[in-house]
Homo-oligomer: A and B are copies of this chain.
Amino acid sequence: MPTSEFRKYGHQLVDWVADYLDHVEQYPVLPAVQPGDVRRSLPAAPPQEPESMDQIIADLDRSIMPGITHWNHPRFHAYFNSTASSPGILAELLSSALNVNGMVWQSCPAVTELEEVTLDWLRQMLGLPKGFWGVIYDTASTSTLHGIAMAREAMEDLNTREQGLGGRNDVPRLRAYISELAHSSVEKAIITLGFGVAAIRKIPVDGQFRMNPAELRTAIAEDRKNGLRPFCVVATVGTTSCTSIDPVPAIADICEREHLWLHADAAYGGSAAIIPEMRHILDGCERADSFVVNPHKWMFVPVDLSAFYTRKPDLLRRAFSLVPEYLRTSKDDAVRNLMDYGVPLGRRFRSLKLWFVLRYFGWNGLAARLRDHLRLAQLFAGWVEAHPAFELLAPVHFGTVCFRAHPSGVDDEPTLNLLNEKLLHAVNDSRETFLSHTKLGGRYTIRIAIGHIQTQESHLQSTWDLLQRELNNVRV
């Protein structure tokens, strides 16, 4: 593409994005398409000849946009919502144009060093100790996989890197402990690493959905007695289900006494620790061996950017370094080559968007916006509590509220579950907002996640009105 054409379409698409951001609220949050609609709107065979950017952009509007769920919409409240803020979007433009691959220092010094600098800034903002060293992966799933791989590597006597887990008679049955509410990616990581589902022991939670340390202690003792070898505990700060916070200090005590690896999953909740008065949510995490927080969740960085920290970078390197001749460089003794710290060899210039976002908003600016989300969540929770036909189902620690409709006179749980499932579908079918659900103690629970940079009280008010209106229409 001649650069004159790049300029023309670049300017046009910047305006397209600006118009999108200006008018995102005119889109339904959820698209109206049925499975297969987008696919059927596109040719089944690849284009033989070149097509013009005008055609491609027209098809973007015609075929792709009707199939978009608008994550960047202030009334997107499903899962954990996220924001692609403007400085983050602009940084991604630059990062894709530079197209560098920071697998080794030499292959792009700025990737290695800006990642080091920005993750150290973030570490300071989170109040983690100096010894925590960070590296960027794509998602929390990948970060957690690396944390648990480190737990495996930490069992030095087993030498699993060389000998593997299987076909040996000197590897005991191993056990990792997670709460009932740990994220599915934790189980997936344990399976992927070759431990199997059987290695997972789920510890019950208390009435506030927090891992029960007494149960953890008992489980470990029981397993040891039965010849199993405990090796790892995963604690969560902000569970996906209901944002509960495991008692990390008590869990860290147990891990230290039992010599177990502690991985702290603060993928969602961790961001809140940059607010000084919220720093306490990470109490105990300074004793974790590995830790993950996702700036692409609640820090206005476009996906994907998961920040993984560990106090033991040399162990991470020992688990993953493997340097073929064609990747050796004359600087290897003087630098960190980030390919040595994980599965993926290739490394996009992801830190650029974190750098842009941290600088554009500043620590105080980010904290102010997150603080506002906490305020909005409390506001919404207050509406729920004050309403006779709704109730809260979990404590509100962050920007996410778990609740359900509970009209007077409807008291059996199966009916309530059905009612709330129907209510959620009715609300989402309006396509004006997007909420998701979970189950807490068997109860069908509606979740509203508040974390978009543009979400205002008026957005919540309209969603709240919609919930009440639809509740009147739901029949069970």
Contacts and interface: CB of A to CB of B under 8 A. Distances in A.
Contacts of A396: none
Given A6-B21, A83-B99, A108 B69 contact: yes
Nearest to A296: B346
Nearest to A22: B3
B51 A359 contact: yes
Interface in A393-436: 425, 436
A94 interface: yes
A241 B99 contact: no
Contact of A99 (B39, B84, B109): B84
Interface stretch (A116-124, A251-259, A378-386): A116-124
Interface string A64-106: 1111111110000011001111111110111111111101011
A92 B83 contact: no
Contacts of A195: 164-166, 194
A311 interface: no
Interface residues of A, number: 163
A242 to B, nearest CB: 9
A68 B108 contact: yes
Contacts of A296: 346
Contacts of A187: 322
Interface stretch (A29-37, A214-222, A278-286, A456-464): A29-37
Contact of A356 (B56, B79, B171): B56
Nearest to A196: B164
A50 interface: yes
Interface class of chain A by DSSP: helix
Interface in A175-228: 183-185, 187-189, 191-199, 228
A306 to B, nearest CB: 8
A345 B79 CA distance: 12
A18 interface: yes
A304 interface: yes
Nearest to A109: B67
A125 to B, nearest CB: 5
A476 interface: no
A195 B65 CA distance: 44
Interface in A1-26: 1, 3, 5-7, 9-11, 13-18, 20-22
Interface string A145-180: 100010010000000111111111101111000000
11 contacts: A31-B110, A39-B113, A48-B363, A51-B362, A70-B100, A162-B198, A167-B171, A167-B173, A167-B228, A184-B327, A191-B319
Given A42-B117, A145-B343, 4 more contacts: A38-B109, A46-B122, A48-B363, A149-B192
